[in-house]
Amino acid sequence: MLAFHLETQRLNTNKTKLDQHMKPKSMTSLVAKSVTVLAACAALNASAGTAPAKAPVPMEPEPSALFDSIGADLSVAYDSRYYFRGLWFADNIISTFLNISVPLISGAGEDGAGSLTWGIGGGYISTLQTPVIVGGVVSNTAFDYSEYDLYTSLSYDAGFATFGIQYQYYGYPDTYSGSIAGASTAPGDSELGITGAHELGVTMAIPLGAANFYLGYYYDLTIGGSYFQAAADYTIAVNDWLSIVPAAQLGYGIDYYTGTNGPTFAGVATQSSGFTHCLVSISTPVQLTKIATLTPYVAWNFAFDTRNYMNATHDNEVFGGVKLTVSF
C-alpha cells in the first residue's frame, strides 16, 4: 500500500511553523464526520446495480470496445496525519480521488505483456482540523491546508515489469506549507510558499509472486528538485475477502523542498540533499462487495536528515487511516 499513490499517489511539508506546536487532537467529531462520509459511499455502493422488481428491461447498447474496457476507481479516505515523501502537511485529512485507465494496446498473452495503458485522474485533499498554537492560544480553526492533484500517465507492461512515465500538477490553495489566519506559514520562500508545482516522473514496478517492488524518479519542474523512491509490499491472503499487506518505502531528495529562506530553519542548519524518510505500514483490505473495498491501515514514519528539522510533528511517529474504494 503506497498509501499515497506510490503513491499513493501523493502524498509533508514543514509548514514553517515558527512557534507553533501540535496538540493532542480531539477526534470524536472528526471520526463521526469521516464515518458519515464513508457510510454514505458504502450505502451508494450497496444500492448500485439494483432496480425495481417490475422495471422494464433496458435495450442493450451497441458494444463499444473502448468503453467496455475502460477501468475506473473512486476513493474517499481519512488519515490522522498527512505525510508525503517524509514531510508533514496537516492532520485529520479527508481526500477523494478518481482514477481512470484506458487500454491503448492490448497485451499479446494472458499475462497482459505488451499492453500500453493511458491513465488519467485527479483528487482533492483538505484538513478537517489541525490544532496549532497561535499567540499562546490553541486554535483548531486558524490553520488551513488543501491540495488538488491532476495527473496523467502512460504505462507499458513488459511482462517482467511495468514501466511508466507520468506528469502531475499539484495545486496548493493555501500554499505548499499551509496558512494561518489566511497567511502562508512560509511567506517569501520560493519552495515552501508556492501555490502550485509541475512534476515529471518515471516509474518501474516488478511483481514477484505475492510481492511487488517499486522504483521511481520524480523531477519537480517548478523548484528544480529531484526525488527518488524505492518501495515494496507483500500480500498475505487470509481468505477470499481479507488480506494483510505489509509495505515499506524509502526516499531520497536532491534540492527537494528543504526551504530557501535562509541557511537555517527554525534555528537548525538546513540540508538540501539526503534521505528524506522511511515509512513502514500494514494495511488490511476488506472486500465488501464485488466492487467495493475498505482498507484500514496503520503506518510508522521516521524522518531523516532533510525532514527531521522541518516537520512540525514528531520525527518518529505512528498514524493511521481508512480508505473506501469503489471500482467500476
Element (H, E) at 162: strand 162-171
Distance, CA of 84 to CA of 288 (rounded, Å): 28
pLDDT at 59 exceeding the cut of 70: no
Confidence of residue 249 (pLDDT cuts 50, 70, 90): very high
* Contact call for residues 201 and 166 (beta carbons, < 8 A): yes
Is the alpha carbon torsion for 14, 17, 22, 26 positive or negative? negative
pLDDT at 60 exceeding the cut of 80: no
Distance, CA of 11 to CA of 92 (rounded, Å): 14
Element (H, E) at 225: strand 225-234
In words, the CATH class of domain 28-42+69-327 is: mainly beta
Integer CA distances (angstroms), 111 to 65, 71, 108, 116, 240, in order: 19, 17, 8, 13, 21
Helix (H, G, I), strand (E, B) or coil at 44: helix
Mean pLDDT computed over 227-233: 98
Q: List alpha helices for the chain, DSSP H.
A: 28-47, 65-69
By percentage, how much of the chain surpasses pLDDT 90?
A: 61
pLDDT at 30 exceeding the cut of 70: no
pLDDT of residue 267: 64
pLDDT of residue 14: 39
pLDDT of residue 157: 95
> Which of 114-123, 230-239, 264-273 is the least confident region?
264-273
pLDDT at 289 exceeding the cut of 60: yes
Is the alpha carbon torsion for 17, 22, 28, 34 positive or negative? positive
DSSP 8: B
Name residue 34's amino acid: S
pLDDT at 63 exceeding the cut of 80: no
pLDDT of 152-196, one tens digit each?
999 999 999 999 999 999 999 999 999 998 899 988 889 999 999
- Supply 36's cell numbers: 458519515
> Which of 27-31, 59-63, 271-275 is the least confident region?
27-31
Distance, CA of 320 to CA of 282 (rounded, Å): 10
- Supply 22's cell numbers: 501540535
pLDDT at 26 exceeding the cut of 80: no
pTM of the model: 0.78
Mean pLDDT computed over 197-215: 98
